[in-house]
Structure 1
Amino acid sequence: MSDAAPPDLAPPGTKPVSPLKKVLANAGQLLSGRVVNAVVGLAYIALTYRSLGKEAAGVLVLINAFAQFLGEAAHFQSWQTLITYGAAPLLDDDKRRFQQVLRLSMLLDLISGVLGVILGVLGAWFFWQELRWPEGTNGYGALYALSIGVMTSATGVGLLRLFDRFRFLAAEQAISSFVRMVGCAICAFTHAPLPYFLLAWAAGTFASFAYIAAIAFWDLKRRGLLRGFSLIGPTSQDLPGVWRFALATNFSGTLDVGFTHVLTMIVGAMLGPAQAASWRIGKQVADGMAKPARLMVPALYPELAKMRAAGSQQAMNKLAVQIALIGGAAAGVLLLVSLLAGYWILEKVVGPGYGAAAGVMNWQVAAAAIGVMTLPLEPMLVSMRAAGSALTVRLVVVIAYLAALGPLINTFGLTGAGAALVAAALGMGIGMYFMARRRLARLAAEEDSARTTKDDEGPSYDHAHGV
């Protein structure tokens, strides 16, 4: 198996960059976009709350959260399918096969978008009381659910990641927030009611989708990958295991998204709203502290996929170890900051009286730190088309965690929930490690077997006779 790094897909004339530097540079670009988005996002949220008041703004947040949850839970992780199955034909300049993978990814987006919209419209129309929406807002919620269809431009995101266009990806959320800010400013100036603010928020979602789709289309056309392309044609043909892969990544993503919401609801049901608030606050701070390091993950996927396509197993291992070491250093800093300044951070950022959540937050930060240290493992499995193995680990850990959560909360309260979260993070990391190790060993064995078979066959007839 080759030790070399995979060919670079950057435009001709671009100086080659090491995979590690590329991952860090791309993650840095994403982080810069998140910083801009945070500032602009705060502006439109402030406009919304100041104009509508706490109650009406709360209704908007509930409707948006409902749509976001369905959008994240229903959609396929088609960008992973596109990167994993599209990297090899892109490297080999196999335009027909790449277009087939692109067609499949677009089909997955269409299926998930339609499914999400149907669930959103029906859920808003018939279950608004269970969702605790005020009477008369179900129609607005149903209309807002139409935005679920464009809430995740997964194919466009996958293409830009595969083409190393992270500087364009960095602007995606900022554009959505900017459109929302302008819309909310107009609504605030005209004293518009709730439906118009919902329209402004939905406009941001549509603008983000249109932006990514336009950039992806431009890049495809620039690279000549749209010549001869048709929306009608084969999708999964000669792509063994692709549907199983797509379903596994989708289910794994749904588990990851739903896990946070389920934990908060369980804590609230067992310990009450105040403890649930402490849990949620600590989790948000812990996730926020770990977010910069986690931005390496979307930058890591395309590099690993290219290495896998080029047969560069040792290069994959080297990059994974480098990212793990960087993640380990970041994890140590996160935990140290939480232990030394967690109480102060909560008191200053959230408000007086919230410092008591620092105890459980330390457990949550420790779990996040473990996740940062082990973050290359799942992308490695997915890049090696072993998404089912990653899903198995995640499912086993989630089931075990949920089974232990009730008794631990009854015995130790929030501390028990936090300690269990650390154990779950350890279990996830260990499970992913052994799955990745087994998969790498299997790939090495397959390579050795193929090489031995080729050597045993000896020189071909043409070569032996000088043809």
Structure 2
Amino acid sequence: MALVKSDSTVFVGVMKNVAKLFLGQAMAGVLGLVYTILAARALTPAEFGEVTLLYAWPRLMALMGSGRSWQVILHYGAAPLEKGEKPPVQNAISFALGLDLFTAFFATLVAMLGVFFFPTAVGLNESLLAMGLIAALLTIPATCLNSSTTGILRLFGRMGLVAKQEPYTAIIRLLLGGIVWFMGGGVVGFALAVGIATMAGQIYVFYAASAVLKENGFLFSPALRLMRLSHEMPKGVWRLMFSASLGYSLNAAVNPAVFMIVGRFFGPAAVAFFGLAETFLRAIAKIGRLLEESYYPDLARLDIRSSKPWALVGRIELLALSVSVLTILITCFGGHFIFSLLGKDYLAALPLMQWMSPSLLFMMMGLPLEGLLYCAGKSLSILWVQIFSAFSMFVFIVVFMATPSFLTFGLGLSYSLAAMVKFFFYLLGVGMIFSAREKIIPLHERKI
């Protein structure tokens, strides 16, 4: 059983999961780079920026509506699953699926109303209004439902299936992008390629999660009466979901909001440069996400009061430090080659990405600390950290916006400083719970 595994065995298992995910992410990264080069060669910077802006508002709403429902599945399902207790596991799965279903509906509705009634305010050219509605329909339900479905696969240790989602999405996006390029589809064509590929990737995960549940004797049954079901679950499930989902949504919504701010004040070309820099950094930062996806199921099974989770996170922190330093060096010294593939018009994005690159260090080292805080039941503390971090990002932007080099130095430094703020608050929080870890009651042990 996972609860009696040695520290080394758990760490080796985590690294095996990382290896599975890395292969998929590496393939998706290469295909994504090829697609980006194709789109950049086919579109002008202004047109590339329009594609980015088309998805800025839907992406903002998708991220605002995306719950951290996988937290419920792992925190309330992992330990009972180890003990062979099926009802608590089924409750956690049904609750998470139902929550995602409701948030997907409301996020899609709000996004479509925003596009229809306030297109200029959400950064859209009115001639692209119909495409804005289609973008919302293609991406928001897929993004919202991804949390619970991947959480199911992680709960049952099916990381190989999780690893296939991004390569499948990238392959479909590249194939569609090639067709668009060949047919001269322009902005609308490339925007459709992104949306259709996103939806297709989620359909795969939806099917995989259903099959895994059936294989293990569970039902793929979203709960429609969430309040009633929550009364059958351990105390605090709503607090976890509210704080975790709101914190994640605020944190994830920062970049789409910055896209719209930059687009409003500096135009679509500036959005294209920031979008490219952010896309490449996000691709590199996925290594940190791989660590989170791999260690979190094991971390949720361990007793936070023992030394095992702390030893596991300590090893992950050292690994994250090494990887983040390596990725920053790659960004600084290999960035020129990557951006030169896009064409000379896009080289202006390189200095911006280099100023944003220190954020990789703080982001990768912060993820393991965030996991510990969740396991300790400190989701409200994480929410406050994420609120303060998001607020600090906009404060830094306001401070640096008046500088002549805002689109390189100012914007990039704001991005990195906000990541640093979040990391140091996480570090402070972990220090506080470590000193009182014997008094912590794990989430799944709290009274109903």
Q: How many Å separate the matches in 2 of 1:120 and 1:235? A: 29
Structure 1: which amino acid aligns with 2:205? Answer: I
RMSD (CA atoms): 3.8
Q: Identify unmatched segments of 5+ residues in structure 2.
A: 442-448
Q: How many Å separate the matches in 2 of 1:184 and 1:118? A: 28
Contact 1:160 1:169 in 2 (8 A): yes
Aligned position for 1:444: 438
Task: Give the C-alpha shift of residue 419 in structure 1.
Answer: 4.4
The answer to whether the aligner puts 1:216 opposite 2:209 as a matched pair is yes
Q: Deviations over 1:50-80 (max 9, x none)?
A: 8899887765554344333321222212112
Contact 1:347 1:353 in 2 (8 A): no
Task: Give the C-alpha shift of residue 38 in structure 1.
Answer: 3.4
Aligned position for 2:287: 292
Please report the TM-score for the alignment, with normalisation by the length of structure 1: 0.78
Contact 2:67 2:244 in 1 (8 A): yes
Determine helix, strand or coil for the equivalent of 1:240: coil
Contact 1:82 1:102 in 2 (8 A): yes
Matches within 5 A, 1:274-293: 281-293=276-288
- Picking from 351, 370, 375, the partner of 2:367 is 375
Q: How many Å separate the matches in 1 of 2:38 and 2:338? A: 24
- Picking from 398, 402, 406, the partner of 2:394 is 402
Task: Give the C-alpha shift of residue 108 in structure 1.
Answer: 0.9
Aligned position for 2:154: 161
Aligned position for 2:3: 6
Aligned position for 1:255: 250
- Picking from 422, 427, 439, the partner of 1:433 is 427
Determine helix, strand or coil for the equivalent of 2:302: helix
- Describe the shift of the 1:184–1:368 C-alpha distance in structure 2 as closer, same or farther (beyond 3 A): closer
Task: Give the C-alpha shift of residue 325 in structure 1.
Answer: 0.6
Contact 1:342 1:362 in 2 (8 A): no
Q: How many Å separate the matches in 1 of 2:99 and 2:413? A: 38
Computing the radius of gyration over CA atoms, which structure comes out larger, 1 or 2?
1
Q: Higher mean Cα deviation, 171-180 or 126-135?
A: 126-135
The answer to whether the aligner puts 1:177 opposite 2:170 as a matched pair is yes
The answer to whether the aligner puts 1:384 opposite 2:376 as a matched pair is yes
Task: Give the C-alpha shift of residue 200 in structure 1.
Answer: 5.5
- Describe the shift of the 1:361–1:177 C-alpha distance in structure 2 as closer, same or farther (beyond 3 A): closer
Determine helix, strand or coil for the equivalent of 1:128: coil
Structure 1: which amino acid aligns with 2:199? Answer: F
The answer to whether the aligner puts 1:307 opposite 2:302 as a matched pair is yes
Aligned position for 1:450: none
Structure 1: which amino acid aligns with 2:357? Answer: V
Q: Deviations over 1:436-457 (max 9, x none)?
A: 232344341357xxxxxxxxxx
Aligned position for 1:128: 119
Task: Give the C-alpha shift of residue 302 in structure 1.
Answer: 1.3
- Describe the shift of the 1:232–1:300 C-alpha distance in structure 2 as closer, same or farther (beyond 3 A): same
- Describe the shift of the 1:437–1:281 C-alpha distance in structure 2 as closer, same or farther (beyond 3 A): same
Q: Deviations over 1:301-340 (max 9, x none)?
A: 21211114xx56311100111011111122332344455x
The answer to whether the aligner puts 1:205 opposite 2:215 as a matched pair is no
Contact 2:61 2:110 in 1 (8 A): yes
| Structure showing greater relative contact order (alpha-carbon pairs closer than 8 Å, 6 or more residues apart) | 2
Aligned position for 1:225: 218
Determine helix, strand or coil for the equivalent of 2:3: coil
- Describe the shift of the 1:223–1:7 C-alpha distance in structure 2 as closer, same or farther (beyond 3 A): farther
Matches within 5 A, 1:18-417: 18-41=9-32, 61-131=52-122, 133-135=124-126, 137-147=128-138, 148-152=140-144, 153-183=146-176, 201-226=194-219, 231=223, 234-237=228-231, 238-263=233-258, 281-308=276-303, 313-338=306-331, 341=333, 344-345=336-337, 348-352=340-344, 361-410=353-402, 413-414=405-406, 415-417=409-411
Aligned length: 434
Q: How many Å separate the matches in 2 of 1:57 and 1:420? A: 23
- Describe the shift of the 1:432–1:52 C-alpha distance in structure 2 as closer, same or farther (beyond 3 A): closer
Task: Give the C-alpha shift of residue 115 in structure 1.
Answer: 0.8
Q: How many Å separate the matches in 2 of 1:100 and 1:268? A: 44
Please report the TM-score for the alignment, with normalisation by the length of structure 2: 0.81
Structure 1: which amino acid aligns with 2:356? Answer: Q
Structure 2: which amino acid aligns with 1:98? Answer: V
- Describe the shift of the 1:184–1:422 C-alpha distance in structure 2 as closer, same or farther (beyond 3 A): closer
